[in-house]
Structure 1
Amino acid sequence: MRSPVPGLPEQLDGGLDRLLPAVASSLGVTGLCAAGDRTLAHADRAVVVLVDGLGAELLARRGGHAPFLRRLAGQPSRAVTIGSGFPSTTATSMATFGSGLRAGRHGLVGYEAFDPATGRVFNELSWEDGPDPRTWQPHRTVFEAAAAEGVDVVRVGPAFFDGSGLTRAALRGGRFVAADSLAARVDAALTALRSSPRALVYLYWGDLDKVGHVHGCSSWQWGDELESIDAELARLASGRPPGTAVHITADHGMVDVPLHRRLDLAHEPDLDAGVEHLAGEPRSLQLHCAPGAAAEVLAAWQERLGADAVVVTRDEAITAGWFGPVEDRVRPRVGEVIATMTGEVAVVDSRHHRPELLALIGLHGSLTREEVAVPWLTVEAEGA
C-alpha cells in the first residue's frame, strides 16, 4: 500500500502569497487581506526587498555572515517564517508574490511549463516563445491594485526585467526603475521613498541565487555575497525616510546536490519511456505522458527513485494542496505525474537541459523545508 501523499512542510503551505497584500493593506489599500493574514502597523511608505534564494534555513545556518538580518531574525515581533508555495522556484514564486495567489490560480506552475495551447514546453523565466503574459496570468496584481488606489508603486531591478514576459505576467503595475548593482538599487529605492508621501517600493536582488547555483549554498562565495547584501540592507533601513517600513523576504531556499547524485534521462530508458514532455526542473519534474502511459510512468519513477523522491499523480498533488486551489485553465499545465525530490538527488536530461544547468550545484524546486521555507523580516515604520 502506498504511503499518504504529504502536504507541504509543517505550516509552510502558504505565506508568500499573503505578504504583499498585507504590506499594501498597511498603506491603506483596501480589499486585499484575507482572514488569518499577518496584521501590520500602518505605514506611509513601505519597501519590500526580495533576495532570490535566501531560504530561512540557509539564513539560520549562515547568519554569521549577516549581522543585520540575524538580529532581525532573532526578534519574534519582527520575524516570521513563511512558505514559498510549490514548486519552490523563482518563476512560480514571483507570480505568487506579485499576484497574492497560489500557483493553481495564477498559473505559473514551474521553471519550465507545458502550454496546452501549443503542445510545447517553455521557460517561464526567460519567456522565450511563451504565450501572452496577460492571458497566461490574467488576475490583477497587488501592484496594480495599489497603484489604482493612488499609491506610488516603484519596482527596482535590472533593466532587462522591464517589460519581460515574467514581469508582465507576475509583477505588472506602477513604474520601473533600472539599476545594476545592489548599492545602486538601494539608492534608487531610497530616492523613490523620499519622493512620495505614499509609496510602495519593490527591490529585487538575484546574485545570491546565482552564486548558490554555481558554487553551492554551502560555499564561501555564498557567504561573501550574503555579507554584501546584509550591509546594503542595513544601509537601506537606516536611510529610509520617516514613516517607512522595510520588509525582507525571498522566493525559495536551496540545497546542494553533488554532480554524482544526478540521474540523466538520456541514460535511463525505463524512466524516459512514456514521457512526451518534460517540464519543471531537476528537483521537481512534471511529466506529461503519452496517452494511456501515466500509470506505467508513475510506477517506473516510484520504483527507480524510491525514498529519494515523492512521485505522485497530478490529482494526488492537487488534492494534497501542493498548488493551492487549481483553476480549470491551469490544470492541464501540470504534468500527469510529478516527481519531487526529497533526498540528495536530482533528475536531468542532457538531451534537453543546457550544459550550464547540468553543471549547477545548488538546486531548488521541491517541497522540502530547506527549499520551501523563506523569511519575512520587518523593520517597522518610525517617526511618521
Structure 2
Amino acid sequence: MSAWAVTPEAEELVLPGSGTRSLAHVLPGVVAALGADLPGAADARRALALPAVERACVVLVDGLGHLNLAERGGHAPFLRSLLPGSEPLVTTFPSTTATALGTFGTGASPGATGMLGYTVRVPGTGALGNLVSWTDLPDAHAWQTEPTVLEQAVAAGLPVTSIGPARFAGSGLTNAVLRGPAYVAAESLDARVDATVRALRAPGLAYLYWGEVDKAGHHHGWGSWQWGEALGELDAALARLSRSLPRGTLLVVTADHGMVDVDPGRRRDLAGDPVLGAGVALTAGEPRALHLHLDPDADAAAVTERWRAELGEDAVVATRDDAVAGGWFGPVSDHVRPVVGDVVVAMTGAATVVDSRTQTPASIALVGVHGSLTAREMLVPLLVHA
C-alpha cells in the first residue's frame, strides 16, 4: 500500500521517497515480472504487485500527472477505466523529463545519475549543459555512469524493444538513461502502437514513449482544450494497443511528471532583479526548480535567507547541504554533488523564477510548466492492464 491511499491536495508538497512506490520501481518491477533476475527487481515487482507474464509493454506519457489525468479524465475513457483502485507513484525532484527518465531508466536516484534538471552546470567547465538536447555536456556514458535497467535486462537474455521517434535513436539522453535495447523508429502514435504490437508477437518487453501531451501542456496549459484533445488522441491509441496486444500481455502506463499552469503575474526574472540576482553567477534547472550557482564570495546561507524573505510562500529555498540532507535528490554521489546548486529553489503555487540571461523568450512564456515538489507535479499514474 502506498502513502497515497487518499490522494493529497494538488498544492501539498511531496518529497521524493514519500510512500513505498516510486517511478524508480517501474522498469525493474516489469523486468522481474518477465522473469529477469536483476538486483532489486523482485522487490520492485512486489511493491507494484505485478503478475508474472511473458510479454509486457511499458508506456511512458510525458507530462501526464496523476492529478492532471484524474481531473480531466473525461477526455480519456480507457485510461479513466484503469484509475479505480490504482495509486500514484512519486517521481523525482526536479519533476522534469531528463531527471525522471534518469531514475525511470536506471532505478537510481538523481543524486546518483547526475540528471538534475533541464539544464545543469558542468563541473570543470562551468558550462550550462542541456540534458534534453545533450548540448555542452560530456559524453553520455561519462556523465551518467549508472547501468540502465534495459541494458541489464538485455544482458540477462530478455528481448527488449524501444519504440520512439527516429531523432531519439542514439541521442545523448537515450544513451545516458535508456541504452541497451533494439530501437524501432516510429513517428506517429499509431505507428508506434503498430510497432509495439509487432515487437510483442514474441515474448519480451516493449517500451513506448509519447511526448505530445506534454507539448500541448507547455504551449497551451494542461487546462486547455488542446491538452484535452491531446489526451483524447492518446487514450484512443492506447485503447487500440490494449485490444491488439496478445492475450495475457501486461500493459503498464505511467508518466515522468505532472504539470501546473503558471501565473505570469507571479513570475520573477532574476536577470533584472537586484535582490534575487545578487551573488548568483549561474542559474541551472528550470523556472520551477532552480539550482543557483553563486559567485565565489557569496554566502549560500545569506542568499537562501534573502530568497526566502523575497519569495515568501511562493518558494521553498534550501542550501545545497540542507537539500541533500533532506533527501531532495536521493543519495548523492560525490561526483554529482557539485552539480547541485549552492542554493536550491522549489517553487510553489503558480509562481516561477526565470533567468532571461540564459532562457529564451519562448521558454519563459510557456503556459504549463513543472519541476517542483507540489503533488500535481510529483504524482504520476501507474495504470496496469493485463
**TM-score normalised by L of structure 1:** 0.93
User: Which residue of the partner structure matches residue 182 of structure 1?
Assistant: 189
- 3-state SS of 1:263 partner: strand
Q: Give the counterpart letter for 1:344 in structure 2.
A: A
User: Which residue of the partner structure matches residue 74 of structure 2?
Assistant: 64
Structure 1 position 97 matched with structure 2 position 139: no
User: Which residue of the partner structure matches residue 87 of structure 1?
Assistant: 94
Structure 1 position 159 matched with structure 2 position 166: yes
Aligned pairs for 1:260-339 within 5 A: 260-293=265-298, 294-339=300-345
User: Which residue of the partner structure matches residue 41 of structure 1?
Assistant: 51
Provide the C-alpha distance between the structure 1 equivalents of 2:126 and 2:87, rounded to a whole number of angstroms.
Answer: 41
Provide the C-alpha distance between the structure 1 equivalents of 2:228 and 2:19, rounded to a whole number of angstroms.
Answer: 25
Provide the C-alpha distance between the structure 2 equivalents of 1:112 and 1:250, rounded to a whole number of angstroms.
Answer: 20
Task: Kindly state the Cα deviation for residue 265 of structure 1 after the two structures are TM-superposed.
Answer: 1.2
Structure 1 position 371 matched with structure 2 position 381: no
Q: Given the alignment, which residue of 219, 222, 225 partners 2:224?
A: 219
Structure 1 position 191 matched with structure 2 position 198: yes
Q: Could you list the runs of 5+ residues in structure 2 that have no partner in the other structure?
A: 1-12
Listed one character per residue, the Cα deviations across residues 304-354 of structure 1 (whole Å, up to 9, x for unaligned) are 111110000111111111111111111110001011101221011122111
Q: Give the counterpart letter for 2:179 in structure 1.
A: R
Task: Kindly state the Cα deviation for residue 9 of structure 1 after the two structures are TM-superposed.
Answer: 7.3
Provide the C-alpha distance between the structure 2 equivalents of 1:316 and 1:9, rounded to a whole number of angstroms.
Answer: 15
Provide the C-alpha distance between the structure 2 equivalents of 1:365 and 1:280, rounded to a whole number of angstroms.
Answer: 8
| Identical columns (%) | 53
Listed one character per residue, the Cα deviations across residues 96-140 of structure 1 (whole Å, up to 9, x for unaligned) are 100011101111111101111211111100001211111111111
Listed one character per residue, the Cα deviations across residues 254-300 of structure 1 (whole Å, up to 9, x for unaligned) are 00002222101122111111111110100110101112412232122
Task: Kindly state the Cα deviation for residue 149 of structure 1 after the two structures are TM-superposed.
Answer: 1.5
Q: Could you list the runs of 5+ residues in structure 1 that have no partner in the other structure?
A: 1-5
Q: Given the alignment, which residue of 256, 262, 281 partners 1:257?
A: 262
Task: Kindly state the Cα deviation for residue 358 of structure 1 after the two structures are TM-superposed.
Answer: 1.2
User: Which residue of the partner structure matches residue 132 of structure 2?
Assistant: 125
Provide the C-alpha distance between the structure 2 equivalents of 1:117 and 1:349, rounded to a whole number of angstroms.
Answer: 22
**TM-score normalised by L of structure 2:** 0.93
* Aligned residues of 1:12 and 1:85 also touching (Cα < 8 A): no
* Aligned residues of 2:14 and 2:375 also touching (Cα < 8 A): no
Task: Kindly state the Cα deviation for residue 12 of structure 1 after the two structures are TM-superposed.
Answer: 5.2
Q: Give the counterpart letter for 1:18 in structure 2.
A: H
Q: Give the counterpart letter for 1:165 in structure 2.
A: G
Task: Kindly state the Cα deviation for residue 205 of structure 1 after the two structures are TM-superposed.
Answer: 0.2
* Aligned residues of 1:9 and 1:368 also touching (Cα < 8 A): no
Distance 1:327 1:7, change over 3 A: farther
Provide the C-alpha distance between the structure 1 equivalents of 2:335 and 2:75, rounded to a whole number of angstroms.
Answer: 44
* Aligned residues of 1:7 and 1:13 also touching (Cα < 8 A): no
Q: Give the counterpart letter for 2:71 in structure 1.
A: R
The CA RMSD over aligned residues, in Å, is: 1.5
User: Which residue of the partner structure matches residue 365 of structure 2?
Assistant: 359
User: Which residue of the partner structure matches residue 30 of structure 1?
Assistant: 37
Q: Give the counterpart letter for 2:57 in structure 1.
A: V
Provide the C-alpha distance between the structure 2 equivalents of 1:13 and 1:247, rounded to a whole number of angstroms.
Answer: 18
Structure 1 position 113 matched with structure 2 position 120: yes
Listed one character per residue, the Cα deviations across residues 181-232 of structure 1 (whole Å, up to 9, x for unaligned) are 10110001001111x2x21100000000000000000001100110110000
- 3-state SS of 2:381 partner: strand
